[in-house]
Amino acid sequence: MTASPTQNDPAESPTPAIRSRVKGRARMILAVNMGNTLEWFDWTVFAIFAVYFSNQFFHSTNEVSNLLSTMAVFAVGFVMRPIGGLIFGLVADRRGRKFVMVLTMTLVAASSVLIAIAPTYERIGVFASLWLLVVRCIQGVAHGGEQGGSYTYIAEVARPDNRALWGTTVIMSTVGGTVLATLLGAVMRTAIDSQAMADWGWRIPFLIGGALGFFALYLRRGLEESAAFADQAASTGTPSSARSALRDIWAQRTSILRVVLLVGGTSVFSYTWSVNAPAYAISFHHVNDKLAMWAGVVANIVFILALPLAALLADRFGRRPNNIAWGLLVALLAFPLSGMLDGSALTLVVAMSLALVIQALAASTQVAWFAELFSTKSRAAGTGIAVSLAAAIFGGTAPYLNSWLTSRGTPDLFTWYVIVLALAVAAAAYFTQETKGLALTAVTDTPSETSVSPG
């Protein structure tokens, strides 16, 4: 007897179970990546609005000195990120990825609110400076822990055949946070005069970040733990001691070094072209400041669109080809891209867009590849430490180094620095095993313990 046409046919329409599963995945991606977007929103807002609130926290008649003091506090956040990567990475590998993502999101939302309501130097003296420093340290620690937790969670819940595509949503949300902060800065600078911005306007972005952060926290509370971590916890029982966990991390020091090399080169290129290029063009090529800001927004949107396309290549052909191609293209095009910059905003947006399309090749692989290089028992800590350390050493110093060398009349030295790092990335990728299709559910899931062939 044939089935009645009125019955549900899976080939004709999705079952309620399938629809529920799709809805659950969409909610999961939203919960993880909205939190990541807001982390980078807060991070970028601090830099954008520092020129307005610096005089509120430091006592000096020199506004430049106050701004430099504030940017020094900003730099402290980079120093704290590797510490957060280690601490929260260890916690994520013992207590779970969800636990850490909820905890770091709480710290991010709370610290944003604390900056928004911070008393000024005029009210409480030097304690205002200390307040800003302590809150910035909390942000840096939380940011380092967030990267290890979110990278690991997304990689573990994705299927092996589309892990790069899922992982690239984390990178897209990172760029999205930067774009949103830049847009808010442009809108507020247009709507509010400089004096009002310095008096109270600078508090608004931090209040917005705090409110949205608590909403992201609400979404994250409903996440389920990843199957890879659940399997690991069920197999090992009692969580290992901190000393044992540190030994596990040390045993994977080669993977940590590989990730540091891969992130070091790509982060310098990313900070140079995704974050610092508009300010650099304004300072050294006299591009109109408003047009330069909008050029940055347009180029970063191009970056967001290029990321999933590059991820599809990584899922189809592997992680190594994307990164080798990135290194060779950057080495070949570093000088032509820099040479394109002049006084025109149009050439700025073209140069930035080309650079960020190339950047998408490497960035699209990072969440998937880094997770695949570590075992489940030390994946969050290994990823968090390596990514945060590389970003602090290489990425965080790139804008300053670029501007300093250019001001001394030697901009070519920075371009050669980029080329050397690009070739180092290509070499590191060539000598790193290909992990496309690796399952992350087994307890012993390091690439050396699987059938994945080396490069």
- Per-residue pLDDT tens listing for the chain (455 residues): 444 444 444 444 455 544 555 566 677 777 788 878 887 888 778 777 777 777 788 776 666 666 656 666 767 777 888 888 888 888 888 888 888 888 888 888 898 899 999 888 888 888 888 888 888 888 888 888 887 788 888 888 888 888 999 999 999 998 898 888 878 887 887 788 878 888 888 899 999 988 888 888 887 877 777 777 777 766 665 555 667 777 777 887 888 899 999 999 998 998 888 877 887 888 788 888 778 878 888 999 999 999 999 999 999 999 999 999 999 999 999 999 999 988 898 999 999 999 999 999 999 999 999 989 988 777 888 888 888 888 888 877 777 788 788 878 888 999 999 999 999 999 999 999 899 988 875 444 444 433 343 33
198-217 pLDDT per residue, tens: 888 889 999 998 888 888 88
Q: What is the C-alpha end-to-end distance of the chain, expressed in Å? A: 55
Residue type, 187: V
For 406-409, the CB contacts below 8 A with 24+ separation are 406/280, 406/284
pLDDT of 325 = 97
- pTM for this predicted structure: 0.79
pLDDT single digits (tens) 340-395: 988 898 999 999 999 999 999 999 999 999 989 988 777 888 888 888 888 888 87
Residue 437, burial from CB neighbour count under 10 angstroms (0-12, 13-18, 19+): middle
**The pLDDT of residue 48:** 72
Question: How far apart, in whole angstroms, are the C-alpha atoms of residue 428 and residue 433?
Answer: 10
Domain annotation for the chain: domains and CATH numbers: 25-242+250-447 (1.20.1250.20)
DSSP 137-170: HHHHHHHHHHHHHHHHHHHHHS-GGGHHHHHHHH
In single-letter form, the type of residue at position 218 comes to Y
Residues 6 or more apart in contact with residue 451 via CB below 8 angstroms: none
Sequence-separated (6 or more) residues with CB below 8 Å from residue 256: 249, 382, 385, 386
